[in-house]
Amino acid sequence: MSRRRLYELHASICQILSNPKRLEIIDCLREGELPVIGLAEATHISQANLSQHLALMREKGIVIARREGSNVFYRLSNPKITQACDLMRLVLLEHLAAGAELAKTSRK
């Protein structure tokens, strides 16, 4: 695979992860599989809207669906997805802390 193609795939996944609702879905699935109704209740997203988000996430390989009777259960395809989100959150928190520190020192 070429580096350019890898960059394109990386950007495509980052695009999916750039939505706050999808990040919330990932956070809910961190501990394991949940049915759509459970995800809807946990995220306060309508089932119709949730289904659209899950379809995009499934298309990009972020989540895996499993049907059991009339219920559809979702889980993360790889636990490293939460590790990547956690790492980005740490970077964000460090950035915010540095900005707060800068604002604090500039007031003196």
Q: Stretch 50-65: mean pLDDT, rounded?
A: 97
Res. 17: pLDDT tops 80 = yes
Tell me whether residue 44 is in a domain.
yes
Tell me whether residue 91 is in a domain.
no
Show the domain range for 41: 3-77
What does the block give as tokens for 6?
């890898």
Beta strands in 18-106 (DSSP E): 34-35, 63-68, 71-76
Structure pTM?
0.86
Res. 107: pLDDT tops 90 = no
Q: Which has more pLDDT, 102 or 91?
A: 91
Rounded CA gap, 81 and 87, in Å? 10
Tell me whether residue 19 is in a domain.
yes
Please count the CA atoms within 13 angstroms of the CA of 96 that sit on its side-chain side: 6
Residue 108, pLDDT score: 61
Q: How confident is the model at residue 101 (pLDDT cuts 50, 70, 90)?
A: confident
Q: Stretch 64-85: mean pLDDT, rounded?
A: 96
Quote the number of domains for the chain. Answer: 1
Rounded CA gap, 106 and 82, in Å? 36
Residue 102, pLDDT score: 64
What does the block give as tokens for 68?
């059991």
